[in-house]
Structure 1
């Protein structure tokens, strides 16, 4: 017997679908996935040399039995379960709209756009605070509904692992196993040492730093395949030469679907952004340094707040208030900064203008003067954070000098000068001459904030950890704050510490009144739930960073007016006044962007934090305010920008989708009646005890039994009831679940009490599987209805077609009408049409079914299967094959063009160069890389678009009169 991908087989009394069939010298190695009750969703490998009883399922063997339940409840439920469980292939949204979030059309676009691609892969590049996590959840739920989201891995920043996991569970009921430090320790204690956790847990969330620093995990990854990989804040993996970038590239080859998210996904260089696009579609770009917007437009979505027309969405972004707070520097501070300015101008006077404007960071002019200039600017920048930060920088430099033997004549090596700077800084700190802190303290007093339990919460951003430490110490002294009131957050904390602080700060019962954070807290974390006051204690020299900071409280879902405070130093000291003005202008720039363009990166078009900081450094070095105030085109040209002004700053065009949501047919009047019937049937059949599940008002309560606990082993423990015998509470009303999510923020450690009741929830999947188990394998249920034409039987069939990857690509529910005595009554028709015509969603009345009737219906099965294959599924399959062949032709043309482009590049790069040594190895590596991409892409798409054998048919039920 020959086996092929897509076939349904039975072995050891269970049913499977073949994902891959490998000829093994007369026997077969079959990689399969379970589709019957006990093995559903699990993967196995069979060897036909060992398992000799494997056979292909044949619908002719179906046994027809009478449904004797009241109103043919079991028949209706069985068909409904099949329809809710079977993969769907619509390009519309089919299930995500039921999840617990406020539906907005723009949030559906990434998923809808991804569905237009051969493989659903896309970059979500929406602006800060627009809800990219929700958009990821929509995509995941839709892919799960399509049967292509069983195995998922999410990579996120270590600070937001818990936040992301909780959001995806609370709103979409998708469980992710969190592999943070605690999660990994748990795995080590529970799993055998040689067990791959990514094979044991289907859905995981982990930090990419955890993966790149763990050689064993990387080994596991190389042996694993996922349906979907999600990489949050993907700009951190754009450099393929880094450990992060290399790992991301590997993961992109280990999954069918890939989702990348970032509000700032590139650094302005075409090569860097091409790395991300190549992860999504390796054939999108022929030349990584020369491609157009049209080449990449299919692979990303980008929108800003002001692109959203939906008033209900815009109302979730209260207009923010900007509060500049000026601190007049003290005499001691002016004296210190006067010395800093002297160092700066002495260096400037020794340099040409070109050295500063074009080559400040290069080596074309004497290094000494530029080193002195950069030292002076660095000293200024550290002091703009705090005198403690500046003191730390000076003291660190002094320590380095002690270990140096070769000390060149640089200012930063002048021990006498460094000691003088240290003495002045120590005096400022000891004499409490820090004007910015005094002004900050006075502002808190003006706002009547004392750090007490009923005071509002505040987020304070500062670049330097020394500043955060100093702020904490001063605030504790001046406001008599306990440790539990003040939190400091920075990148050197462990993942568990970071998650704990962020979660705690977002709870109503938190003791924290003030969060002091470095820019490690500026990306991804939600700080807006109970906080609408923020202070930029120092102003970062990057508009991108500034926008990210402000977006922590000024984001979708903020219920109050966000107050953004800026601490701005002021001085009339010559030179220093100009430098301070340049820094203050950054605040004005960000505010102008907020009120017009919507994206801070569009101002300088550098798209890179370091590049923007360097630009500000050059402006201060040359006392050149024009650099940060001139038209963007000039700045971009000066900075060597190469991605194109119109390339990234505009939102992607809205998708012209008239009706994005597909409402699916049902045999029940609504979801409530379906779930009530399901619970009642399972109790009648003995699969549930009387008190295992029941509706209490609008809530379905399902008891947490030992069996359920065992089956749902991979649910987050916070999502489960506390003990056996407690209940899951599932609601059909998303507003109720959303209120539960809000209520959970009132208490530390709590997750939402109510979950969304829909077909993707693991508890619901368990109940649906139990119903399926109540109908024996290869059994079709029979119902007798007096409203049907007499002497006619309607066979309800589910037909499926798979491709060479073992993926179902066609799933159809249809009806074959037959004369009781044989022969076709009419053309096969969609089940949805039959359902409406015969009003099967209304109350049905059970009638007596004789053995003679069953025998007649049973005798019709060979004809029914024949008609189903030839007259319906055969035509459907042929139409699908034509469509697949057209897609394959387009893709093959794309392959040829991509190949020609790569060969031309190879000729240009290596054509006239010697073919030996380093150049030969480099050429061979590049040839191997692009040939591998070509081979893998060609094979994948052929398998994707090749239909395999006859359709699989399953007889679900027969209605007759």
Structure 2
């Protein structure tokens, strides 16, 4: 028996719609939704090996019943529902353009490119601030429309779980259950201890660290499959040897589609980037150390602000302004840093050139002077954050040394020197001799900022936690700030604390006027709502990190001029002046990137924040400012990544990115008005359950809806029964509601998009489906049709061996009332146009005699539908599938050959015992696993599952 999504089945005398199918060793696991009275709205899972009573309607036994509704409204709605519910197979955009965002072609490209692959999988590597979350939402919407987005899991940083969840709901009406600390506690309270939450909730969002650190959740994952997995900030999982990386590798095998996102998708190591691409397509790369851009180009998109030529999009970015705030170091600071410089130069005097150029961070030679040098540079770096940060570092070192007996002859082990440094720092702090803080305070005074409700908001970035603490103490004292005015954000906060602060700061009614944040706040979080002033209190020794920081307020959707302030320390002290110059050059470099290059990582071509920090450390150690001037020499830089990521991926050439749609209704409004009216007529809705006025549909929140939509975020639901969901056809109204929701803490958008992906709309459409019995097709008599003719509307569905629908066709069989075909089958859209069925229809009486005549034609109709249409369509499809399979098999063969050759080169003459033998066996097993799973997957993907499924939807006739 063939099963496809969208089929109606009977099991145990109840009726269901199939939502999803999983292969189960020749049988199937069916995930269904009840539509008959006893099971309505509930979800079930059937195993066809166990449930032997499952029955799919034989189309020859369809009962023909006259439609007596005014204007044949039920027939039109029933057909429209089938069309809107049907899986689509176009490589164009079919539904996402209706969502609540300003449509720009560049945002459609990741999804369009993914659709060109056998499995829609993609890496979205767009630059900072271009709207990757919206691009993810477009992909999810389109996959749901294709029947391949029932089960979704999103992995994101713990700080942005709520932000991501809210964005995807507000704009696309896709509900994600948030599994943060609070969400997990709720699950523990509501679900049995042995219940897999990923089976209970179809769509979830969770931090990868939650999964990584939770053994029980990892067990759940190993026994779960998803349609789609999204991994945000995927550079954190690029190392397959890390816990995060190995978990991501596992997850990539547990899903049909995969979306990876990151503005910094690699760290310059070919192996790590190959790991990401292999997650998307294991056959893409034959040699992880030797692959080309051509090998990977189909699997990623990368664009920067300068690549976007759409003026409407450009208008959503504001031209930033840079404000340099110079802080002339005080005598007390110069005295401390003079001692720091002496430590540095004393260490340098005992080192050779090779120690600095090739082995600065290693341990091959002269370990002690190098450690002294690095200690001095570390001391400088901590002080450039704040005196308090340096004080804490020195004090912690002294405390550690006091507990030790054997000390090395190192400055960092010399308690006397450390005490001198500590004393100087105490003088600076107690005497308020911190020039940089005083410059910040004076700048805020100059800007008339007092931390009051009327004042603009500020984000301040600093690397060290102790700096954030000291800033909070000083600003609170100097400006008389209340506790609720100033927030500090850092990685050691819990996920709930992080989300609360970020959401609060982005609301109009927030009391926060200033957010002090470490670089934990530099990735992913939106800080541009109601904030356009950012201060780099210290300058990170990485352009990548600096670009990420500045991108928190300088991003798509910023409505005001972003002001990027830099606190720049100045001194004429010998040596120190040069060091300050080197660090301050980073600010100029980032500005150059902003003006021209587009990507900070392209400057030093190290593609890794840690590697860039080491470069600055080396520049300070060697007093070589040239190191920060330009890219590294070619001998160090990797030309592959230079060419790969310095430029945007080529624009996708798609003549018509959005597929035109056809409908029996003049527009969406006419359809939804008719749907609501029909459900009221059939008593599926009470008169006050739904109200349509203008572009707004209001649907009452009832206990039944609440039970069926149990997995909607609580913030997305009305607060109590009797209140209403508000769905609008006007995209501007919904976007305005999203903006208005930012005015009050805890609020989500009041209006949602009224389109067929919204769960409330899905509920209404299912109600309409239930109003027509599973074995019934509605009959319409129309005088505009040729005399003595009958037109049978058929839906034909073909599935592959994965249980996925790969063809859904609506066509019409033209018959003579007295028997025999009147003409060849035609597409329903052609029939619709030819006889103007979108215009007003007039209901006519259908006699029992006519019904009998039509019923007698039904067996012939089904035979003709098979022989003259669906069988031919299936053969054409099978031919195309076989061509694709041949290409896949050749790709698999070449990949396997290459892997075998690599094995021979690596292990050819190596004795096969011990660790080496195990490593070889592990690699062989990995290759065979990928080979077998890929081969079987492609065979199942391209093999059609038996005969097409036919369903008679309606009959139009004139007699």
TM range (shorter): over 0.9
Matched, 1:845 2:842: yes
- Displacement after TM superposition at 1:362 (Å): 1.1
Aligned partner of residue 412 in structure 1, secondary structure = helix
Give the aligned partner of residue 174 of structure 2. Answer: 174
- Displacement after TM superposition at 1:16 (Å): 5.9
Give the aligned partner of residue 429 of structure 1. Answer: 429
Deviations along 1:203-241, one digit per CA (max 9) or x if unpaired, are 000000011011100000000000000000000000111
Give the aligned partner of residue 557 of structure 2. Answer: 557
Equivalent residues of 2:394, 2:418 under 8 A apart: yes
The whole-number CA distance in structure 2 between the counterparts of 1:593 and 1:478 is 36
Stretch moving more, 397-406 or 769-778? 397-406
Give the aligned partner of residue 54 of structure 1. Answer: 54
The whole-number CA distance in structure 2 between the counterparts of 1:586 and 1:46 is 61
The whole-number CA distance in structure 2 between the counterparts of 1:351 and 1:423 is 29
Give the aligned partner of residue 878 of structure 1. Answer: 875
Matched, 1:577 2:577: yes
Matched, 1:14 2:11: no
**Aligned with residue 703 of structure 2, among 706, 713, 731:** 706
Give the aligned partner of residue 910 of structure 1. Answer: 907
CA gap 1:388/1:301 in 2 versus in 1, 3 angstroms: same
- Displacement after TM superposition at 1:36 (Å): 5.9
Stretch moving more, 873-882 or 422-431? 873-882
- Displacement after TM superposition at 1:365 (Å): 1.4
- Displacement after TM superposition at 1:643 (Å): 3.8
Equivalent residues of 2:798, 2:945 under 8 A apart: yes
Give the aligned partner of residue 45 of structure 1. Answer: 46
Aligned partner of residue 649 in structure 2, secondary structure = coil
Matched, 1:520 2:520: yes
Equivalent residues of 1:154, 1:229 under 8 A apart: yes
The whole-number CA distance in structure 1 between the counterparts of 2:204 and 2:218 is 15
- Displacement after TM superposition at 1:841 (Å): 1.1
- Displacement after TM superposition at 1:785 (Å): 0.6
Unaligned 5+ runs, structure 2: none
Give the aligned partner of residue 925 of structure 2. Answer: 928
The whole-number CA distance in structure 1 between the counterparts of 2:836 and 2:686 is 32
The whole-number CA distance in structure 1 between the counterparts of 2:372 and 2:143 is 57
The whole-number CA distance in structure 1 between the counterparts of 2:490 and 2:309 is 37
The whole-number CA distance in structure 1 between the counterparts of 2:303 and 2:822 is 54
Deviations along 1:732-786, one digit per CA (max 9) or x if unpaired, are 0110000000000000000000010000000000000000000001110000111
Give the aligned partner of residue 817 of structure 1. Answer: 814
Give the aligned partner of residue 317 of structure 2. Answer: 317
- Displacement after TM superposition at 1:30 (Å): 3.7
- Displacement after TM superposition at 1:507 (Å): 0.3
Equivalent residues of 1:268, 1:641 under 8 A apart: yes
Aligned partner of residue 664 in structure 1, secondary structure = coil
Aligned partner of residue 813 in structure 1, secondary structure = strand
Superposed, which structure 2 residues align to 1:110-125 within 5 Å?
Answer: 110-125=110-125
Equivalent residues of 1:486, 1:514 under 8 A apart: yes
The whole-number CA distance in structure 1 between the counterparts of 2:212 and 2:403 is 33
Matched, 1:608 2:605: no
Give the aligned partner of residue 674 of structure 2. Answer: 677
Aligned partner of residue 814 in structure 1, secondary structure = strand
- Displacement after TM superposition at 1:21 (Å): 6.1
Equivalent residues of 2:48, 2:54 under 8 A apart: no
- Displacement after TM superposition at 1:162 (Å): 0.3
- Displacement after TM superposition at 1:613 (Å): 0.2
The whole-number CA distance in structure 1 between the counterparts of 2:201 and 2:253 is 20
**Aligned with residue 856 of structure 1, among 831, 853, 867:** 853
Give the aligned partner of residue 894 of structure 2. Answer: 897
Superposed, which structure 2 residues align to 1:191-202 within 5 Å?
Answer: 191-202=191-202
- Displacement after TM superposition at 1:836 (Å): 1.2
- Displacement after TM superposition at 1:399 (Å): 1.4
- Displacement after TM superposition at 1:662 (Å): 1.0
Stretch moving more, 28-37 or 83-92? 28-37
Superposed, which structure 2 residues align to 1:687-706 within 5 Å?
Answer: 687-706=684-703
Q: TM-score, normalised by structure 2?
A: 0.98
- Displacement after TM superposition at 1:644 (Å): 3.4
The whole-number CA distance in structure 2 between the counterparts of 1:856 and 1:5 is 31
The whole-number CA distance in structure 1 between the counterparts of 2:620 and 2:23 is 67
Give the aligned partner of residue 366 of structure 1. Answer: 366
Deviations along 1:54-101, one digit per CA (max 9) or x if unpaired, are 334311111000000000000000000000001000110000000000
Stretch moving more, 353-362 or 922-931? 353-362
- Displacement after TM superposition at 1:697 (Å): 3.0
The whole-number CA distance in structure 2 between the counterparts of 1:4 and 1:697 is 41
The whole-number CA distance in structure 2 between the counterparts of 1:404 and 1:79 is 81
The whole-number CA distance in structure 2 between the counterparts of 1:59 and 1:605 is 64
Equivalent residues of 1:270, 1:642 under 8 A apart: no
Equivalent residues of 1:29, 1:45 under 8 A apart: no
Superposed, which structure 2 residues align to 1:500-899 within 5 Å?
Answer: 500-630=500-630, 632-634=631-633, 637-638=635-636, 641=638, 643-899=640-896
- Displacement after TM superposition at 1:46 (Å): 2.8
CA gap 1:564/1:674 in 2 versus in 1, 3 angstroms: same
Aligned partner of residue 644 in structure 1, secondary structure = helix
- Displacement after TM superposition at 1:33 (Å): 2.7
CA gap 1:742/1:953 in 2 versus in 1, 3 angstroms: same
The whole-number CA distance in structure 2 between the counterparts of 1:192 and 1:34 is 22
Aligned partner of residue 794 in structure 2, secondary structure = strand
The whole-number CA distance in structure 2 between the counterparts of 1:594 and 1:39 is 56
The whole-number CA distance in structure 2 between the counterparts of 1:703 and 1:192 is 31
CA gap 1:741/1:597 in 2 versus in 1, 3 angstroms: same
The whole-number CA distance in structure 1 between the counterparts of 2:185 and 2:22 is 35
Aligned partner of residue 597 in structure 2, secondary structure = coil
Equivalent residues of 2:2, 2:949 under 8 A apart: no
CA gap 1:149/1:39 in 2 versus in 1, 3 angstroms: farther
Give the aligned partner of residue 412 of structure 2. Answer: 412
- Displacement after TM superposition at 1:840 (Å): 1.1
Stretch moving more, 349-358 or 883-892? 349-358
Give the aligned partner of residue 227 of structure 2. Answer: 227
Aligned partner of residue 788 in structure 1, secondary structure = coil
Equivalent residues of 1:782, 1:959 under 8 A apart: yes
Matched, 1:63 2:60: no
Equivalent residues of 1:5, 1:21 under 8 A apart: no
The whole-number CA distance in structure 2 between the counterparts of 1:851 and 1:4 is 33
The whole-number CA distance in structure 1 between the counterparts of 2:856 and 2:370 is 94
Deviations along 1:614-655, one digit per CA (max 9) or x if unpaired, are 00000000000111113x251x533x6464321211100000
**Size of the alignment, in residue pairs?**
952
Superposed, which structure 2 residues align to 1:459-470 within 5 Å?
Answer: 459-470=459-470
The whole-number CA distance in structure 2 between the counterparts of 1:19 and 1:513 is 52
Aligned partner of residue 291 in structure 2, secondary structure = coil
The whole-number CA distance in structure 1 between the counterparts of 2:369 and 2:841 is 92
**Aligned with residue 949 of structure 1, among 921, 946, 949:** 946
Give the aligned partner of residue 106 of structure 1. Answer: 106
Equivalent residues of 2:2, 2:946 under 8 A apart: no
Q: CA RMSD in A?
A: 1.4
CA gap 1:792/1:602 in 2 versus in 1, 3 angstroms: same
Deviations along 1:480-520, one digit per CA (max 9) or x if unpaired, are 00000000000000000000000000000000000000000
